[in-house]
């Protein structure tokens, strides 16, 4: 949470809300097996947010993803997109490269705006 807070310039409470909202939305967007695999690599307190409610992924684009995070975290869309980017950056560093790669390969190409598979963390500007 500290890394998300630092990268978004928000409080720890807001970073927690953004992280939980992003993981919940990601779990809806990827297959249930991948969501469970990802959850298994997360700290215990975050695992429930990464579990999918079903086996089949919902198909929606980046705009819908960010809107869902915005609503769940109670932030505007710009803050939500910054939060999603920070959460994906932290995930890339926190889980195995294989697990991260399996997650992002299920996402459409437009998610490259927030989920970079290869680059090291670079502070993004608005």
> What is the DSSP code string of 9-59?
T--HHHHHHHHHHHHHHHHHHS-HHHHHHHHHTS-TTTHHHH--SSSSPP-
Q: CA 37 to CA 33: how far, in whole Å?
A: 6
What pLDDT score does 10 carry? 95
Task: Write out pLDDT tens, residues 101-119.
Answer: 899 999 999 999 999 756 4
Please state whether the predicted TM-score (pTM) of the whole model is above 0.85.
yes
Secondary structure E strands in 39-121: none
Size (the chain), residues: 126
| Contact by Cβ (8 Å): 9, 125 | no
**Mean pLDDT in residue range 4-21:** 96
The two tokens of residue 63 are 């705009």
């Amino acid at each position: 949470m500290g890394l998300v807070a630092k990268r978004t310039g928000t409080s720890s409470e807001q970073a927690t809300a953004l992280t939980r909202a992003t993981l919940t939305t990601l779990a809806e967007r990827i297959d249930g097996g991948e969501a469970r695999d990802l959850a298994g690599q997360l700290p215990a307190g975050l695992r429930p947010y990464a579990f999918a409610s079903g086996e089949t992924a919902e198909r929606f684009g980046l705009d819908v993803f960010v809107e869902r995070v915005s609503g769940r975290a109670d932030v505007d869309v710009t803050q939500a997109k910054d939060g999603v980017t920070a959460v994906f950056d932290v995930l890339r560093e926190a889980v195995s490269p294989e697990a991260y790669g399996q997650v992002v390969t299920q996402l459409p190409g437009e998610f490259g705006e927030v989920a970079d598979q290869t680059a090291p963390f670079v502070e993004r500007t608005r």
